A and B are shown apart, each in its own frame.
Chain A
């Protein structure tokens, strides 16, 4: 076993490709968090008073809260007064057209594989690019507007579509929801806003790319997606950050509302800097994501491929309020070196004949800890609710940990709830068999891991499936055993 551990170690010690820093003037506010901080952020964004009041309420509530201690995570104390809560790339002087994005920023996103120039834009995909606390540019905005689709940065939505924002902000994740939700509600800076009108099928993938650049800052973005009756949208989120020795905090909120027979697919390829091989640095990714299947027959699917972050705390969930509504959660979470992840989902069945599917694939290597935590709740009036959960763990080393914490709270006896779980290891025999056929260990691990994760990868939009497959292999480079 020792020998194959060495091999796996070698295979899973690949380097982080997105660790560069963009040299750009950044506007920062003072360090620390108090009412003044909240007011400054709100003022910077010229927000209406109701939003400032929302933030202040959240801030005051946050002050009464403690960080959650129930996750299977070892989180070092975080000094919330040592973080800068607003950082914006400075705009160059000159004509202020939307296309006049700083060339440095364009270059940065180019390097990340997200071209923002009109000519090079990704076909079939509209992108909102967010750096630190602000949105840099949103592509294809006009094309989408022709169909009545609103896709813009959150700040813009507050200014141009205040009624929609006010109606839905906090309607799925209230500021009282949890510690990080309260924090985000107080200091959130930018993010994306999507509204798909009645009966409209969004003709292209929408996506937001989040980039942390500035040091000593936190990123607190907020995404709100509303799909009106019979609307459809597929949305993808990607993220990266520079390599730094100190940890950086990322506490986001995503809210989704799906009305009658509407469908929202939300995919995440999360590749925040995971820290180095000794576990130094990396992003703390504490995120609250929740979708409300409000209307009859609506559907929300979460697909996540999680390879980054030093610590991940995240449970994309569905509230199945509408009768016959459907919730899905497909997840691949990879942890390597000293990464920790406590991730999973909540499926809350409220409506009749609601269905949910959970497929979670954990892959752990190195000294990492990888936990699945999930709740299936069936309320007394959710007649005929169905859930199928499958939680698999794949271990690539003898020093990592994989844990499963499934909770079920069933209050209606017509419910059918199934749970399956497996744990497996890549064996030395499997690796040798591949080698005997001419396949190197690295590639064999890639094949096996991608085969193991296939069910989830198949749910990603095509354009990203290949990218995500590569990411999976790279994240485990140097880790096989």
Chain B
């Protein structure tokens, strides 16, 4: 589904990603772990086409298409979804208008007619139940006045609405208490199918207790330095990141 080859990227002229290779197949969940500043969030930003990041080398193929040539909105319509680490507030734009615009753009891209108002509201009801958001959601402005936990649940709700092929969860666990974490993880698990895939970016093992990864990667100084099964996450939890740094000859 996703093939990343030798990906290099800069932000403000500084190279952050220094040659990433990563391959994700349908049905898989990949966890990307690593210490702060290793490039985890840069990787997710580059994949969704955030203009603040500049790709200098390498290629990314998503379902046969050259992802780096697509506009951010087309990457979304192709089925890439990012659950933002810091979801943005858009005052004055209601969730219902926002989601309807998004869903209809996705439908138009697939050659489908806009969704009817009744079907849309039904879908909203169904999907918000997955992350236990209440019905006031629809009339509230996008993320405005949401608590930290609500914002993250709202991200997963949007993911449920858009049914992406590849979901990237960027530190979705940060700032969540244990109940919110459980709700978010449950939501993600319910949305797993053999056809879609997920990249879970996290600093801690905690989230991976709930969302079981198939593969765990360690990102360090802009490179993937270790790849293994779920046991790697446990090892990291136990030993911290220092042994990786040592292994890399940094300390």
Contact = CB atoms under 8 A, between A and B. Distances in A.
A429 B45 CA distance: 12
Contacts of A441: 73
Nearest to B109: A438
Given A432-B51, A433-B84, A439 B90 contact: no
Contact of A429 (B76, B88, B92, B162): B88
Contacts of A428: 51-52
B77 interface: yes
B92 A439 contact: no
Interface stretch (A16-24, A105-113, A443-451): A443-451
B106 interface: yes
A430 interface: yes
B93 interface: yes
Interface string A422-437: 0010011110111111
Nearest to A447: B93
A451 B91 contact: yes
Contacts of A437: 76, 98, 102, 158, 162
B182 to A, nearest CB: 25
A438 B73 contact: yes
Nearest to A443: B101
A439 B105 contact: yes
Residue of A428, A430, A454 most packed against chain B (CB within 10 A): A430
Contact of B92 (A432, A434, A454): A454
B202 to A, nearest CB: 19
Nearest to B143: A433
A440 interface: yes
Given A429-B88, A435-B76, A451 B141 contact: yes
Contacts of A438: 73, 76-77, 102, 105-106, 109, 162
Interface residues of A, number: 23
A54 interface: no
Given A437-B162, A439-B105, A440-B105, A447 B73 contact: no
Contacts of B94: 451
Interface in B227-246: none
A434 B93 CA distance: 11
A418 interface: no
Interface in B62-110: 71-73, 75-77, 81-82, 84, 87-94, 97-98, 101-102, 105-106, 109
A55 B48 CA distance: 66
Contacts of B88: 427, 429-430, 432-433
B166 to A, nearest CB: 13
Residue of A432, A436, A454 most packed against chain B (CB within 10 A): A436
Interface string A55-82: 0000000000000000000000000000
A464 interface: no
Contact of B90 (A3, A435, A436, A448): A448
A5 B95 CA distance: 26
Nearest to A432: B50
Contacts of A424: 91
A433 B90 contact: yes
A451 B90 contact: yes
Contacts of A443: 101, 105
Contacts of A452: 91-92
Interface in A1-51: 3-4
A447 B90 CA distance: 10
Contacts of A430: 88-90
B101 A439 contact: yes
A438 B49 CA distance: 12
A400 B119 CA distance: 42
Given A443-B105, A451-B97, A435 B92 contact: no
B169 to A, nearest CB: 13
Contacts of A429: 88
Contacts of B92: 448, 451-452, 454
Contact of A447 (B52, B71, B84, B98): B98
Contacts of B109: 438
A424 B144 CA distance: 15
Interface in B175-212: none
A472 to B, nearest CB: 13
A454 B141 CA distance: 12
A6 to B, nearest CB: 10
A439 B93 CA distance: 13
A330 to B, nearest CB: 15
Residue of B71, B91, B106, B141 most packed against chain A (CB within 10 A): B91
Residue of B72, B91, B106 most packed against chain A (CB within 10 A): B72
Contact of A448 (B76, B81, B93, B106): B93
A67 B49 CA distance: 53
B11 to A, nearest CB: 13
Contacts of B72: 432, 435-436
Given A430-B88, A430-B89, A433-B90, 14 more contacts: A4-B51, A427-B88, A433-B142, A435-B73, A436-B72, A438-B105, A438-B106, A438-B162, A439-B98, A440-B105, A441-B73, A448-B90, A451-B90, A451-B93
Interface of B: 48-52, 71-73, 75-77, 81-82, 84, 87-94, 97-98, 101-102, 105-106, 109, 141-142, 158, 162
17 contacts: A430-B89, A433-B84, A434-B102, A435-B49, A436-B76, A436-B82, A437-B76, A437-B102, A437-B158, A438-B73, A438-B105, A438-B106, A439-B102, A447-B101, A448-B92, A448-B93, A452-B92
Closest 4 CB pairs of A and B: A451-B92, A451-B93, A438-B76, A435-B72
